[in-house]
Amino acid sequence: MGAIAPTSIVRAAGRLLALGLSAALGCAVAAGVEVGPAAADQVRAEQWQLSALDARDAWKVSTGKGVIVAVIDSGVDAEHPDLAGQVLPGIDLVEPGSNNGGKVDPVGHGTTVAGLIAGSNRDKSGVEGIAPGAKVLPIRVLDKANKYDDPGIVAQAVRWAVDHGAGVINLSLGGALRSEAIAESLAYAAAHDVVVVACTGNIVTDPTTSRVWYPAREPGVIAVAGLGAAGAGGTESLWSGSLTGPETVLTAPAVNLTGARPGGGYWQVQGTSFAAPLVAGAAALVRARYPRMSAANVINRLIWTAKDLGPKGRDDRFGYGEVDPVAALRSTVAEVETNPLTEAGPAEAGAGLESSAEPLAQHGGAAPLPEASEFHVERLAEEQTRTSAVTGLTAMLLISLGGAVGVLLHQRRKGSRPQP
Which region holds residue 200: left if phi is over 0, alpha if psi is between -120 and 50, else beta? alpha
3-class DSSP assignment, residue 406: helix
Residues of the chain scoring pLDDT < 50 = 1-38, 344-420
Give the pLDDT of residue 395. 37
Q: What sections of 166-218 are H helices per DSSP? A: 180-191
3-class DSSP assignment, residue 180: helix
Query: Would you report the helix, strand and coil content of the chain in percent, each value rounded to 5?
Result: 30, 15, 50
273 is catalytic: yes
Give the pLDDT of residue 405. 28
Nearest to 95 by CA among 74, 111, 78, 79: 74
Give the pLDDT of residue 204. 76
237 is catalytic: no
3-class DSSP assignment, residue 160: helix
410 is catalytic: no
Q: What is the pLDDT of residues 69-94, one digit of tens each?
A: 999 999 999 999 999 999 999 999 99
| In contact, 380 and 4? CB cutoff 8 Å | yes
List 74, 80, 109, 373, catalytic entry? 109
Give the pLDDT of residue 291. 97
Q: Residues 91, 93, 96, 100: is their CA dihedral positive or negative?
A: negative
List 179, 273, 356, 416, catalytic entry? 273
Give the Cα-Cα-Cα angle 209, 212, 213 (nearest 5 degrees).
80
End-to-end CA gap in the chain:
24
Give the pLDDT of residue 3. 32
List 73, 92, 150, 324, catalytic entry? 73
